[in-house]
Amino acid sequence: MAAEIKDRIRTIPDHPKPGIQFRDIMTLLQDPIGLNLSVQQILASWTGERVDKVAGIEARGFILGGAIAVALEAGFVAVRKAGKLPHTTIGVDYDLEYGTDRVEIHTDAIHEGERILLVDDLIATGGTALAAIDLIEQSGGVIVGCGFVIDLPDLGGSEKIRKRGFTVSSLCAFEGE
C-alpha cells in the first residue's frame, strides 16, 4: 500500500531552495483513489481507539484531518500559525532552523481529558508536530497518536515523537532526505 501512496506524491526538486526535494501531496489529494487510500490507511492505524477530536496542522493537515474526523465521528481542531484564528487563543513557540515560529488553537477547542489524534501531511524534523503536541497537552487533551502521510526518517521527527512516548503512524517514507 505504501507504493500506492508514494507513487501519487509529486517531488519538486530545489523547492523552496536548492537541494530541497519538496514532497507535494496535492497530487495525492486530487486523486480520489489517493485521497481515499490516505484517509482509510491513517484511520486503520487507530481502529479501536476512542478519538474525541482530530487536530490537523495547517494547512494540508486540515484536509486530511477533516476527512478523518468525519469518518471517526469526531470533532476537528485547527492547529494554525500565529494570528490566524479569530477567537481567543493559546499558543506554543518552537524553534526553526533560523528563528522561531508559533502554533495556536482556540482556548475552547479542547476540553480536559479529550482524546486527540494529531494529523499532518509530513513529519520532517518534528518541530511543528512537537509544538502541536505541547499545545494539545497544555489544553488538557490526551494524545492518542500522530498520523502522517509522509515520514522523512533521516530528519528525526518521528523518532523524537516516539521518544516522548507517542505512537507515530506514517503511510510512506522517503529515505535520504
Encode the chain (177 residues) as per-residue pLDDT tens digits: 789 999 999 999 999 889 889 999 999 999 999 999 999 999 999 989 999 999 999 999 999 999 999 999 999 999 999 999 999 999 999 987 678 999 999 999 999 999 999 999 999 999 999 999 999 999 999 999 999 999 999 999 999 999 999 999 999 999 875
10 is known as an active-site residue = no
What per-residue confidence (pLDDT) applies to 102? 97
Domain spans in the chain, listed from the N-terminal domain onward: 49-173
Catalytic hit among 4, 10, 58, 97: 97
What per-residue confidence (pLDDT) applies to 15? 92
Helix (H) or strand (E) holding 39: helix 32-44
What per-residue confidence (pLDDT) applies to 13? 94
What per-residue confidence (pLDDT) applies to 98? 73
What per-residue confidence (pLDDT) applies to 146? 98
Query: What does each C-alpha distance from 2 to 17, 99, 172 come to in angstroms?
Result: 27, 34, 5
What per-residue confidence (pLDDT) applies to 109? 98
What per-residue confidence (pLDDT) applies to 99? 80
Architecture category of domain 49-173 in CATH: 3-Layer(aba) Sandwich (3.40)
What per-residue confidence (pLDDT) applies to 177? 58
Catalytic hit among 60, 80, 104, 114: 60
97 is known as an active-site residue = yes
What per-residue confidence (pLDDT) applies to 95? 87
Grid cell locating 37: 487510500
Angle at CA of residue 134, ends 132 and 137, nearest 5°: 110
The pTM assigned to this predicted structure is 0.95
In this structure, how many other beta carbons lie within 10 angstroms of the beta carbon of residue 76? 18
Grid cell locating 136: 494539545
